[in-house]
C-alpha cells in the first residue's frame, strides 16, 4: 500500500505555466441570443414597469397624504429598466468550442463562465410558456460535483438548443 503511494507521488508533476502563453478570453466569438428573446424580455420589462407605475401612482394618490404626491416624479426613473434589460440581453451570448462551452452576460457586472466539456454532468432543454409561444428554449448546463446548474443559455431557437444538447452529449460520451 505504501509503495503504491510513493509511485503516485513520483508520477505527479505540477509545473509552472507562463501567463503570457494563455489564450485570450476576448478572442472567443460569442453567438448572440435570438432577437425574439431580446424583444420579449424588453416587452416583459415594459409591462412590469407599467404595472409598478400604476400601482405606486394609485397607492400614493389614493391612500397617502398630499405632500407625498411630489415624490411621484421618481417614477420617471422606471423607463431605465427596460433599456437596461434590452442592453443586457444584447450583451449576452454563448460559444461552443472544441473543449468547452462559454456564456457571457451582464452590463455593469460582467460575467463570463466557461464550462469544460469533460466536467459536464447533465444537459437539459427548458421551455416556459413564453418560450413555447415564441418557439424558444433555454439550455441548462450542470457541472459534475454540483447539485445546481452551472449556467443557462436562454433565448435559443428550439432546434439550436436541441442541436447544442446533442453535441454536448456526444462530446460527453466520447470524453468520459
- The pLDDT tens digits for 45-81 are 999 999 999 999 999 989 888 888 888 888 889 999 9
Instruction: Give the per-residue pLDDT at 57.
Output: 92
Give 164's contacts (C-beta < 8 A, 6+ positions apart).
96, 101, 139, 153, 156
CA pseudo-torsion sign 160, 161, 162, 168? positive
Q: CA-based diameter of the chain, in Å? A: 85
Residue 93: alpha-carbon gap to chain centroid: 8
In whole angstroms, give the CA distance from residue 97 to residue 116: 9
Instruction: Give the per-residue pLDDT at 131.
Output: 93
Rounded to 5 degrees, φ, ψ at 97 are -120, 180
Given a cut of 70, whether residue 5 has pLDDT beyond it is no
Given a cut of 70, whether residue 10 has pLDDT beyond it is no
Average pLDDT over residues 112-128: 92
Instruction: Give the per-residue pLDDT at 27.
Output: 82
Long-range pairs for 3-8 at CB < 8 Å and ≥24 separation?
A: none
Question: With pLDDT > 70 as the criterion, what percentage of the chain qualifies?
Answer: 92
Read off the pTM: 0.78
Amino acid at each position: 500500500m505504501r509503495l503504491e503511494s510513493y509511485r503516485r507521488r513520483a508520477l505527479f508533476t505540477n509545473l509552472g505555466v507562463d501567463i503570457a502563453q494563455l489564450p485570450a478570453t476576448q478572442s472567443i466569438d460569442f453567438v448572440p441570443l435570438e432577437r425574439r428573446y431580446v424583444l420579449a424580455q424588453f416587452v416583459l420589462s415594459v409591462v412590469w414597469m407599467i404595472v409598478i407605475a400604476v400601482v405606486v401612482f394609485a397607492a400614493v394618490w389614493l391612500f397617502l397624504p398630499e405632500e407625498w404626491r411630489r415624490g411621484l416624479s421618481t417614477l420617471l426613473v422606471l423607463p431605465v429598466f427596460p433599456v437596461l434589460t434590452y442592453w443586457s440581453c444584447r450583451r449576452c451570448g454563448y460559444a461552443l468550442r472544441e473543449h468547452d462551452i462559454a456564456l457571457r452576460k451582464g452590463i455593469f457586472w460582467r460575467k463570463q463562465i466557461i464550462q469544460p466539456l469533460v466536467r459536464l454532468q447533465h444537459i437539459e432543454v427548458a421551455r416556459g410558456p413564453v418560450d413555447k409561444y415564441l418557439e424558444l428554449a433555454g439550455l441548462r448546463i450542470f457541472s459534475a460535483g454540483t447539485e445546481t446548474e452551472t449556467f443557462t443559455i436562454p433565448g435559443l431557437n428550439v432546434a439550436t438548443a436541441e442541436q447544442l444538447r446533442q453535441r454536448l452529449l456526444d462530446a460527453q460520451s466520447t470524453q468520459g
